[in-house]
Amino acid sequence: METTAAWKAMFEGWPDAIERKGMVVTSLGEAIPFQAFMISGGLLLLERDKPDQFGTRKVILAYDQICSVRLPTTMELARFQVMGFQPSI
């Protein structure tokens, strides 16, 4: 699976059991914290809890611009199996 399609599938299938809060790091190196998100085709709408230095709280980002997603949760790794992650053999 291509990376863009993998990010899209992950956000589209985000389970209710995992809080929709974290940080997206873009291909330009920008770290975007989010407290909620919405999806639309090839775009992801992120909502910040505080405005950035320009006063913006919402960011619309193409999936191909995502390099990583950071999550603040302390949940066990096994709980992420609902997102398609599997333990190594």
Express each pLDDT in 34-48 by its tens digit.
999 999 989 999 999
Express each pLDDT in 57-83 by its tens digit.
999 999 999 999 999 988 889 888 888
In this structure, which amino acid lies at residue 51? P
DSSP helix, strand, coil percent of the chain (3-state; round to 5): 20, 35, 45
| CA distance linking residue 69 with residue 26, whole number of Å | 9
Range of the domain at 63: 3-83
Express each pLDDT in 23-36 by its tens digit.
999 999 999 999 99
Is 59 part of any domain? yes
Is 15 part of any domain? yes
Is 88 part of any domain? no
Q: Is the dihedral of CA 17, 20, 21, 22 positive or negative?
A: positive
Is 89 part of any domain? no
Is 24 part of any domain? yes
The CATH code of the domain that includes 52 is 2.30.30
The residues pairing with 62 across neighbouring beta strands, listed in sequence order, are 43
User: Could you give the number of structural domains in the chain?
Assistant: 1
| CA distance linking residue 87 with residue 89, whole number of Å | 6
